[in-house]
Amino acid sequence: MKTFEELGVSADLLRAIKELGYESPMPVQEAVIPYLLNDESSDVVALAQTGTGKTASFGLPLIQKIDLSLRKPQALILSPTRELCLQIANDLKDYSKYIPDLSVLPMYGGTSIENQIRNFKRGVHIIVATPGRLIDLMERKVVNLETVKKVVMDEADEMLDMGFTDSINTILERVPEDRTTLMFSATMSPAISKIAKNYLHDAREIVIGTKNEGAKSVNHVYYMVHAKDKYLALKRIADFYPDIYAIVFCRTRAETQDVADKLIGDGYSADALHGDLSQAQRDFVMGKFRQRRLQILVATDVAARGLDVDDLTHVINYGLPDDIESYTHRSGRTGRAGKTGTSISIINLREKGKMRAIEKVIGKQFVAGTIPTGKEICEKQLLKVMDEIEKVQVNEEEIATYLPEIYRKLDWLDKEDLIKRVVSLEFNHFLEYYSNAREIAIPDQGKSSRKDKGGDAAGGRGKRGGERSREAEPGYSRLFVNLGKKDGMTPSMVIDMLNQNVDRRVDVGRIDLMQTFSFFEVKERDAAAVVRSLEGLTYNGRPVNVELASTDETGRGDKGGRSKGSAPARRGGKKQREEEDFRKFFDDDTPFDDGGAWYKKRKKRRR
């Protein structure tokens, strides 16, 4: 392992990072620092998780390369959230402690733009910005990026997910072509490799650890309960892990608030984080959670994005998210920094199909968990109380004056009695609650998965809804796509997607639209080509994922489409089939929409 000196870090920076306690470089720093200090370097895509030391890996060389005599922006760092923006700017200020003339300015939304304009006009070397605020400042003709030589996109996958693709386009258009661009991402998704192709030139890929390392260190556990029992299940899980430090993800703001209110009402150390709260309220809640003054944070996906916490014990999905990428982001919040984490999903039968779809994308199976019984929880809590009694710090000096009175009062109790009473003090409410609580009924999955086939995984209704687990028609393969009615998906959009992106005529069979995903069938011989052609496709900036669907609820992939001889053959000739297909398209209650332009594949390369 090399030292920071050997990597070429300058004396002023060395002094500052020594004070921060950085003894030796972390792997991402060893890989990226010398590369960026080298003037000939080309662009970089670095796959590194949060907490790996990536800020210093780009921050130190960026600072070192600044020409202090030119008081103009020379480096631009884009970050998805204001919290990360501030964190990066603060880190850079710490690193440049002994370079007093260096000016770093964070520019982010949700706060006075006037102050930022004033500060910018004083002269800035490094801008750390969220895309939205930067565009605003560019449109006001305050910020000009013509002097920028280096661009860093931090947490690029998050930025894409948050819909900043167009903003990033606009920003990069305004930075001179001879820039060096660095993209940091936790995972190498198709969307990331695509953006790297578009914006980066001969990019070198630096992988720290293994790709998608986060997913490997996370166990995925599901608890199957009736929808009405989800909250009870959550309570039991929280009780079973007394030292829990978790984010509970909900789908809507209302649900987030509701679950948090219930937990607070039931005496848990919990609070809510969602978009209906003011920025000040959100900062307050996030602060409490970071300082561990809260054990459970109930949050929406969007609101939790600004929160960077490394040592969560659990991520809990209070129901599965609508899209698979959100699940990956949620679960990637645990199992960081070399630790193993657990992503728990409390789901009902209707979500089982969604779970199978997620399994295919993350390449890992969910393990079925059993909701702890009241007795198991009581044992766990009892152990915790005993552990606390053993470990409590006794302030001998302070307590000494009170002891004579305490001894006098408790004199009549023997040791066993005293122990029972002390433990009961903490433990009684659990005993009371669980001695009266009914055990949570586990849905009959065998029977219900048949029933399940009659209902929409995402809660929709209608005759198509339950057909997500059906087999493909003979000669056809059934494909899954992560867009559904909620995304405006219609049968004609499926056809357009194929027409615009597959270089051959594709016969389309049955189309089943769910709320958040859909299935469509193509001829078996075309399936592989269709999946290949749609790789890297985006829809409104969101990565589109198309893959072979599994045929049943057990997650057994069918790979080739259908299992031979199991589905009834379609009667009639080609014409009749076309008529059936045609009727089926217009049979759907969603309007016909010919909006082919919604699907776009980026063909242009920037340079």
Instruction: Point out which span in 53-61, 514-522, 567-575, 590-598 binds ligand AMP (CB under 6 A).
Output: 53-61
State yes or no: residue 539 binds ligand AMP (CB under 6 A). Answer: no
Instruction: Point out which span in 54-62, 107-115, 188-196, 558-566 binds ligand AMP (CB under 6 A).
Output: 54-62
* Contacts with 285 (C-beta within 8 Å, 6 or more apart), sequence order: 271, 272, 273, 277, 294, 297
Give the three-class secondary structure for 154. coil
Q: How far is the CB of 96 from ligand AMP (least distance, A)?
A: 14
Residue among 8, 27, 34, 53 that touches ligand AMP (CB under 6 A): 53
Burial bucket for residue 350 (CB in 10 Å: 0-12, 13-18, 19+) = buried
Residue 93 near residue 159, CB atoms below 8 Å: no
Q: Which long-range contacts (CB under 8 A, 24 or more apart) does 5-11 make?
A: 7/33, 7/34, 7/37, 8/33, 8/34, 8/37, 9/33, 9/60, 9/64, 10/64
Instruction: Point out which span in 23-31, 269-277, 338-346, 552-560 binds ligand AMP (CB under 6 A).
Output: 23-31
Q: How far is the CB of 201 from ligand AMP (least distance, A)?
A: 25
Instruction: Point out which span in 18-26, 139-147, 348-356, 450-458 binds ligand AMP (CB under 6 A).
Output: 18-26
Nearer to ligand AMP, 99 or 361 (CB): 99
Q: How far is the CB of 180 from ligand AMP (least distance, A)?
A: 19
Nearer to ligand AMP, 17 or 346 (CB): 17
Q: CA triplet 188, 191, 195: central angle to 5 degrees?
A: 95
State yes or no: residue 184 binds ligand AMP (CB under 6 A). Answer: no
Nearer to ligand AMP, 184 or 520 (CB): 184
State yes or no: residue 26 binds ligand AMP (CB under 6 A). Answer: yes
State yes or no: residue 22 binds ligand AMP (CB under 6 A). Answer: yes
Picking from 263, 245, 267, the residue whose alpha carbon sits closest to that of residue 316 is 245
Residue among 25, 335, 369, 443 that touches ligand AMP (CB under 6 A): 25
State yes or no: residue 491 binds ligand AMP (CB under 6 A). Answer: no
State yes or no: residue 32 binds ligand AMP (CB under 6 A). Answer: no
266-292 core/surface letters (b: 16 or more CB in 10 A; e: else)? eebbbbbbbeebeeeebeebbeebeee
Q: How far is the CB of 157 from ligand AMP (least distance, A)?
A: 15
What residues form DSSP beta bridges with 542? 539
State yes or no: residue 54 binds ligand AMP (CB under 6 A). Answer: yes
Residue among 13, 31, 52, 105 that touches ligand AMP (CB under 6 A): 52
CA distance 487 to 505: 25
Interface positions, 420-459, toward ligand AMP (CB under 6 A): none
Residue among 56, 63, 160, 208 that touches ligand AMP (CB under 6 A): 56
- Phi and psi at residue 6, to the nearest 5°: -65, -25
Q: How far is the CB of 334 from ligand AMP (least distance, A)?
A: 16
Q: How far is the CB of 105 from ligand AMP (least distance, A)?
A: 19
- Phi and psi at residue 314, to the nearest 5°: -145, 150
Interface positions, 162-181, toward ligand AMP (CB under 6 A): none
Number of residues binding to ligand AMP, judged by CB under 6 A: 12
Q: How far is the CB of 120 from ligand AMP (least distance, A)?
A: 25
Residue nearest ligand AMP by beta-carbon distance: 55
CA distance 90 to 509: 56
Sheet of 546-548: strands edge to edge? 508-513, 518-523, 476-481, 546-548
CA distance 298 to 306: 14
Nearer to ligand AMP, 307 or 324 (CB): 307
Residue among 55, 165, 295, 545 that touches ligand AMP (CB under 6 A): 55
Angle subtended by helix axes 11-19 and 54-64, to nearest 10: 150
**What is the widest separation between alpha-carbon atoms in the chain?**
98
One-letter amino acid of 468: R
State yes or no: residue 296 binds ligand AMP (CB under 6 A). Answer: no
Q: How far is the CB of 52 from ligand AMP (least distance, A)?
A: 5
CA distance 318 to 458: 14
CA distance 478 to 550: 8
State yes or no: residue 50 binds ligand AMP (CB under 6 A). Answer: yes
Instruction: Point out which span in 49-57, 253-261, 385-393, 520-528 binds ligand AMP (CB under 6 A).
Output: 49-57
Name the residues that contact ligand AMP, by CB under 6 A. Answer: 21-22, 25-26, 29, 50-56
